[in-house]
Every structure is written in structure tokens, then in C-alpha cells.
Amino acid sequence: MNKTWNNKAWFMVLPVLFLVAISAIIPLMTVVNYSVQDTFGNNEFFWAGAEWFEEMLTSDRFWAAMGRNLLFSGIVLLIEIPLGILIALNMPKSGWGVPVCLVLMALPLLIPWNVVGTIWQVFGRVDIGLLGYALREVGVDYNYVSDPFDAWVTVIVMDVWHWTSLVVLLCYAGLVSIPDAYYQAAKIDGASRWAVFRYIQLPKMNRVLLIAVLLRFMDSFMIYTEPFVVTGGGPGNSTTFLSIDLVKMAVGQFDIGPAAAMSIIYFLIILLLSWVFYTVMTNYDAASDGERRDG
Amino acid sequence: MADLTARDSFAGTAAASSASDDATMRRMRRRGGASRLGWLIPTLYILFLMLPIYWLVNMSFKTNAEILGPITFLPAEPTLRNYAVIFTDPSWYKGYINSIIYVVMNTVISVAVALPAAYAFSRYRFLGDKHLFFWLLTNRMAPPAVFALPFFQLYSAFGLIDTHIAVALAHCLFNVPLAVWILEGFMSGVPKEIDETAYIDGYSFPRFFVKIFMPLIASGIGVAAFFCFMFSWVELLIARTLTTTDAKPIAAIMTRTVSASGLDWGVLAAAGVLTIIPGALVIWFVRNYIAKGFALGRV
Amino acid sequence: MDLSWMAWTLPTAIFFGTILLLLVSMAVWEYVSPGGNPRVGVLRFETTRGDRLFVSLLGSAFIHLAWLGLVGPNLWWALALSVVYAIGVFRFV
């Protein structure tokens, strides 16, 4: 769409700017201030310089949490994106099945995150949970409380349970926007199922898939509540992700300086990734707009 | 590029011979060309989604003795005691009221401020617009854990700790950018000629916006409100940090009671079930727009 | 209103002041010559001068972090490196 140049539009953005600035900029400035100082409470601060940053960047604890978080995000994306596409491709496109599927699939997204944690905490328990009980019955030695591998499996299955629907709904939105003519043409050309997917459905889903990857990566990179409720970051530190470690440090140990330094490093990484995704997305849009104009 | 030429050739042949086997086509459209067993995949997936929820509901109707005893797939002696506990104890049911109050406040504030901003982004170019839009988005991506501590300090300084408005405002951090993003997507789908015609017809901007434009993007407003509701309803970290007793959300009360009362599993399950219900109701109202909404109005 | 909880220090105040100054001068620059001087640089997509400023600042932040993690606590060298990097970004990106 051709937009007119009009700087008065700023006035329409002002309320948003004001609101978000209060809740984003002031806290962010505060975090920066904390990150270069040391405190023992009572609002007394002592200059510490870049000490906390240096400590963070050379601490094994931070890099371990970062590694676990990246591994978690990677696994979750590898499962949820293909699974989401597969389910979306097989969703009914019309009839009574559509609203039923949509409502049931969206349900996990609307459950408070700690309740998601509680559901899986209960579900996985060997004594009172269906999953733990069933696994025990078929002879799998499963206990997410004491075994790190089982804890990881539980947290990942929980995330798949919680968020795959988002990918499904996004892909589905992309799929229903494909005009029937494309499918008819493919049928006439004798295109294989794979060709239909590769040359019709996938290009149409590109955009929404990008959004899906962006949202899923970011949300899994800052996951806190669900694994915290299920495992509390344990056994040991095996499921302590960045956010969990951060809250532990800031609230549990009241190490505000290191926690603030970690927040800033964390935030910078998020900022970089957001920028990469956003640039890819807008340039992709510009390119496809160009195609549409040419065609 | 290859995709495009392939697509064009498909479309071209379709136009040439439009009268073809309708029945096959309908089947293909319905299944997206999938095999006959295609329905199995979503069905299995939904089954997988429902199992843990079934277990929670099942538990909420059991007595604690039965929960801790041998596994039963349906409550042997169904009881409403767990729900009775919640509905008779103010410290429980107030949690629901608190949650709903701040969620509704947040939804109203977010959509109200996002509407004009989204209009500006979808219709005009202005100084620094793209950077502003990106900056808004980064706030949607920012981890709440980073903000929890300074938020506590900030709202303490204003004396707003343990009020509903504090949580509502704090949740604006991620809900306002999201609402702007969604609404901008929907608004860009409305042709600009409509605005211009209205101005020629002598409509003032506010009158045009309320009388003509808002009805046109009503579904977008609904979807944006739905998402604000959703993310405010499910968030716990910030809500818990900013409240102590008077505005404590139900989700936080749940965690506290678990650790204090020696694990009353039945009540915990009942409270969990009750937190699912508002979400389910809201989804039902927006079910026809939900897919497009999740694509943020951009398909 | 009591702002002591924000724990301001002179260096951080100077830091944020500099950022604010940069933003204001960018706005003025944009106002004087609108359009942002878009071009396609080494990153092979179109950037405006606002994008270049963002890339410079974000890159500088990572240069400082890398210096702290890999070399040592003397950040003046990191600052010098960042300035060189920023000039490079404004010249080639």
C-alpha cells in the first residue's frame, strides 16, 4: 500500500509510546544502573564497574544455563514446526470439524502457564499421574523428579503439548488462504502430493512459518513458569534455563548486580535475534510484494 | 522464483480446463490432497492434548484418598467437595475475581491505545516509524524475568503494589505491541480508498474512525482483544511479583496453597480446571477468526 | 517523587544521555534530509541511516562483551574498536 508521509501521525502513536516507555525504558535503565553496582540492601549502592559482566561472561553457571536453553529451544523447534505443519496439512478445511479442531487445539494456549506446569507435574507423577503410571506399567523406569533425562523429556513433551497448536493454527491460516484454482491446476498437471506441498502449500505458508519460528524461538528462549513448576530447575541444575537462573539469582539470593548483568546480556541476545528475524521478515515481504507487482 | 513459475503454470492450466472432476477436487480440497487416513493425525493430536486435561478433570472430582490410592480412570465416588472448598473460601474465589479484573483492565487499555497507533502505522509514513515499530516488537520478545525486579521497584515508588491497575499496566509491556501488530495487519487489509471517500464525504477523523473504520475491522479488534486477554491471563511471573494479597491472581494462590496446606491434590485440580474455563469460553467466541488472528492478520 | 531506587550513577547517566543525544540528532538529521539515505551495502539488503545506527550500537555492545569475556577489564580499547566498527558500518553497510 502506498502510504502518505505525515509526521502528525506521531500524535496517534503517543499514547502507546508513553505507556510502553514507562513499562519498558524505566525498568531497563534501572537494570543497567544495577548492573554496574553492588548492593547490600537499603538502597545503598557501591560502584562495581564492569565486574559483574566479567563475572557472568566467565562463569560456567551462566554458559551452562545458556547452553541448556539453546538446546531446549532447538529441540522444541525441531519437533514443533514439522509436527505443526503435518497436522495443519491434515486438518479438515470445511464442515463441522473445523471449529471443533480449532477450539480444542487452542485450548492449551489459554491455560495459565503455571497450571500447565501443574497439569504435567500431576500427569507425570508415578504415584498419582496417568503418564507416570502407564510408563511404569509397560516397564519404563520413569521418574522426572530424580532422573535428569526423564525431566528433560517431560519438559519437552510439555512444551510440545502446550505450543504446537500455535504452529498448527498459523500454518492452517496460511493454507486456507490458498485459492482452489491452485489445487485444481495441480490435479490436472498430475502433480504429486510432494509437489503440491513443495510448490503450492509451502510457499504460501512461508510467511506464517517465519512468524511461528520467531514466536516459538523467543518464547522458548525465555521460558520460566512451566519447567519451574514441574521440576523447579532440577534434578540438580539439569533443567535450569536462563530465566529460572535469573530469578533464582535476583530473588532467591538477592544478587541484584550479577542478575542485572545477566539480564542485559540476555536482553542483548534477544535484541540481536529479534532484529535478524525482523529484517528477514520485512525483506521477505518487500520481495514478495515485488513479485506480486511484476506478475 | 521457481515456486512462482510453477504456481503460474498450475494456474494457467487450471483456467484452460476448468471443467474437471469435481468430486476428486472437493476431496482434495478437504484434505489438502492428503491420503485417506489424513483425519487420523489431527485426531491423535487432539487426543494427546486432551489426555492431561482429562486427568486433571478426573482428579478434581475425586477425594484425596482416592487420588493417592490405586489408579482409577473415573472417580469411584464423585465428589464436589473440591469445588465447594473454592467457592466458599474467599481467599480462593477472590483470586479469580482479581485475575479477571486486571485481565479485563489490561485488554481495554491495550486495545484502546493500540487502535490509533495501528492506524498510524498502517496508513502513514512518519519520522522513525519503522524503528518505532521494531522497538515495540522487541518488548513483546523481552523476557519477563528481566523486568520482574525493576517493576517491583517502579510500582513501589508509585505506591501501586498489590493493586489491579499495576498488573494491568505491567502487562501492557507485551500486550500493547502485540495488539498494535495484529491491528496493523487487519487495517492494512482495508483499502485506503475507503478513508479517502469518507473524508470527501465530509466525515471528521474521529467520526470516520468510530462509525466506518472500526466496524470494518471489528474482527481484528476482537482478535486483538482475545490475544491481550490470553497473554494477560496466562502470565504469572509479573502478576505474582506485583501483588501480595488484595490483587493476587488465582494462579499465584494455587502455588501458595500447594506448598502450605500439605498438597490438597483435589482442590489443586479443581482450581486448575476452573482456570481453564474462561479461556475455553473466550476461544469459542472468536473461533472463526482464531486462525487468521494467530497469523496476526497477515495471510 | 523518590527515585533513589533507580540507583543512578554518573557513568550510566552519561551513557543514557549519549544515547538520547544520538536519537535526537538522528531525528533532526532525518527532518533536515528525509528518506534516511537508503542504500544496499555489504549486508545485501536496503538499510537506512537509522538501521546503521542500530547495527553500530548493538554491535558495539557485543564488542564490549566479547572484550570483557575474552581479553580483560580494560574497556577503553573495546570502545576504540567500537568506534572503528561504527565508522565501518556507516561507511559500508
Q: Which chains touch A (3 or more CB pairs under 8 A)?
A: B, C
CB B230 within 8 A of CB A109: yes
The set of residues, in sequence order, having a beta carbon less than 8 Å from that of A174 and lying 6+ positions away, is A88, A204, A205, A206, A207, A208, A209, B295, B299
Q: Which of A33, A50, A272 has the CB atom closest to C7's CB atom?
A: A33
B234-255 pLDDT, tens digit each: 888 888 888 888 888 887 787 7
Split at pLDDT 50, 70, 90, the class of A72 is very high
- Sequence spans of domains, chain B: 1-33, 90-294
Cα A234 to Cα A66, A147, A178, B55, B131, distances in angstroms: 16, 9, 46, 24, 40
Give B140→chain A minimum CA distance, Å: 9
Classify residue A156: in a domain, yes or no.
Answer: yes
Strand partners, C40: C46
B119-160 pLDDT, tens digit each: 999 988 888 888 888 888 888 888 888 888 888 888 888 888
For residue A92, what is the domain's CATH number? Answer: 1.10.3720.10
How far apart CA B64 and CA A131 sit, in angstroms, is: 19
Classify residue A9: in a domain, yes or no.
Answer: no
The pLDDT, as a whole number, for residue B297 is: 58
Q: Rounded to an integer, what is the distance from CA B263 to the centroid of its chain?
A: 30
Split at pLDDT 50, 70, 90, the class of A59 is confident
Q: Do C6 and B153 touch (CB under 8 A)?
A: yes
Classify residue A166: in a domain, yes or no.
Answer: yes
Strand partners, A5: B125
Q: Do B139 and A87 touch (CB under 8 A)?
A: no
CATH class of B90-294: mainly alpha
Count of CB atoms situated within 10 Å of the CB of A102: 24
Classify residue A10: in a domain, yes or no.
Answer: no
Cα A264 to Cα A221, A260, C63, C76, C84, distances in angstroms: 15, 6, 14, 20, 23
SS3 A4: strand
Structural domain including A249 reads 64-294
Q: Is the pLDDT of residue A39 over 60?
A: yes
Q: Do A37 and C9 touch (CB under 8 A)?
A: yes
Q: Which residue has the cell 511404569?
A: A136
| Number of domains present in the structure of chain A | 1
Q: Among candidates B184, B171, B173, which has minimal Cα distance to B115?
A: B184
Q: Among candidates C70, B132, B202, which has minimal Cα distance to B211?
A: B202
Residue of B nearest to A126 (CA): B71
Mode of pairing for the β-strands spanning A4-5 and B124-125: parallel
Give B102→chain A minimum CA distance, Å: 14
Q: Which of A54, A268, A283 has the CB atom closest to C68's CB atom?
A: A54
Classify residue A283: in a domain, yes or no.
Answer: yes
Does any CB of chain A come closer than 8 Å to the CB of residue C76?
no
Does any CB of chain A come closer than 8 Å to the CB of residue B274?
no
ipTM over 0.85? The verdict is: yes
CB interface of B with A, residues 34-93, below 8 Å: 34-35, 38-42, 45-46, 48-53, 55-56, 59, 67-68, 71
From the candidates C1, C2, C6, which should be mutated to test the interface with A, based on the most A CB atoms within 10 A? C6
Residue of B nearest to C24 (CA): B128
- A225 or B6: which leads in pLDDT: A225
Could you write out the three-class secondary structure of A210-227? HHHHHHHHHHHHCCCHHH
CB B14 within 8 A of CB A181: yes
Q: Which chains touch B (3 or more CB pairs under 8 A)?
A: A, C
| Grid cell for residue A99 | 471449529
DSSP state of B213: I
B63-105 pLDDT, tens digit each: 888 888 777 888 888 888 889 888 888 888 888 899 999 999 9
Classify residue A212: in a domain, yes or no.
Answer: yes
